[in-house]
Amino acid sequence: MLRRPASGRPAGTAAEDHRDLDAWVMVRAKIAAACLVVLLLAACTGNAPGAGPSPGNGPELLRKLDLNLALPWSIVFLGDGTGIVSERDTKLIKSIRDGQATTVGDFPGVVPGGEGGLLGLALSPTFARDRLLYAYFTAASDNRVSRVRLEQAGDGRLGLGTPELVFSGIPKAATHNGGRIRFGPDGFLYVGTGDAQQPEQAQDRNALGGKILRLTPDGKPAPGNPFGNTPVYSYGHRNVQGLAWDASGRLWESEFGPDVNDELNLIEPGGNYGWPRVTGAPGRPGYIDAKVVWPSTADASPSGLEIVNGTAFVVALRGQRLWTVPLSGDTAGTPVAYLTGRYGRLRDVSLAPDGTLWVLSNNENPDFALVLKPPHP
């Protein structure tokens, strides 16, 4: 059953390394032959990773910030460049300013466990006026979204107000909790969920697991959603990890596959992305193929996603690298890897107001941030 929004008010683990493969034996023999070497276990219509970076056209590492973080999951930026970070297991919101991390507050109601805890963050589109910070987190019985006012004292110190429940009832489990949230160019809140270890619910449009949801800022189904008065925007997802829009307003999504076939998808309203019936890009009628397929999850396990100057930047957990994917309209080029194995597991990537890209490490004990200069278009 779909859970209603709260009424009367506005409103890095090994287990992430996945999965199991739905066969793609129906792919035609001549397509399979052409793709065999590169895509032995993946569907052939999605692009596979390249052999290595091309010198001089990748992101440039400017500095590494040793911030003493503990399993950071998401980072967003205030207009003045202050980073706001969630820590999954400590339940803390922290700010990063002048190369230092400071605790803002403990987010109430978070019950960490497995891959669950304090996960995605998003700033209200009208933050300059309302100062609202949205958070996706695991509670005692479900995953949910709440919002809180990010208060600022006279001396500049930040604090948390009283949280307001926005949306609840997203299924939880030890793994596959999804957790990425982001406001789109249309002003609505997009919420990426996981199948919560119940793969079949990803195909059930009456369930919240294995979906991308589209909500008003108050947590109601957004007008114009493809299935009427329901929050479901797309379905057939296994474990949504990254959401980002290109310059033309197209929504892209990064997603964990099972033991094979991690994905970068171009999201269509009402689209069925196949899980658990298919993975990757098998070209099967009724399902939308991934635009990029990583045949080996050892190369990817993609998490956070950002798009800058026509390039998708995808950070990898098990793959321990930063993937760049050139985008052109509704097509994706060949992924190229950077930073491979140099900084461990990478959880999130986000564009700062000064045009730099920030990358958060994951489970490096302690965790840190990398500040990168994106390549010129």
Which pLDDT score, from 0 to 100, does residue 49 have? 79
Which pLDDT score, from 0 to 100, does residue 135 have? 99
Evaluated on CA atoms 177, 130, 86, 245, the torsion sign reads positive
10-residue averages of pLDDT along the chain (377 residues): 44 43 35 36 57 65 98 98 98 98 98 98 98 98 98 96 98 98 98 98 98 98 98 98 98 97 98 98 98 96 98 98 98 98 98 98 96 92
133 within 8 A of 121, measured Cβ to Cβ: yes
Reported pTM: 0.88
CA dist list (Å): 162 to 132, 147, 148, 320, 347:
11, 8, 6, 37, 28
Residue type, 326: P
Sorted by where each starts, the structural domains of the chain and their CATH numbers stand as: 71-299 (2.120.10.30)
| CA-based radius of gyration for the chain | 19
Report the alpha-carbon distance of residue 126 to residue 129 in Å, rounded: 6
Which pLDDT score, from 0 to 100, does residue 222 have? 98
Which pLDDT score, from 0 to 100, does residue 48 have? 75
Which pLDDT score, from 0 to 100, does residue 2 have? 53
Which pLDDT score, from 0 to 100, does residue 32 have? 37
166 within 8 A of 134, measured Cβ to Cβ: yes
Q: Give the tokens for residue 8.
A: 């009367």
Residue type, 134: Y
Q: Which residues pair with 321 in a beta bridge?
A: none
CA dist list (Å): 222 to 62, 68, 92, 301, 303:
40, 39, 30, 30, 26
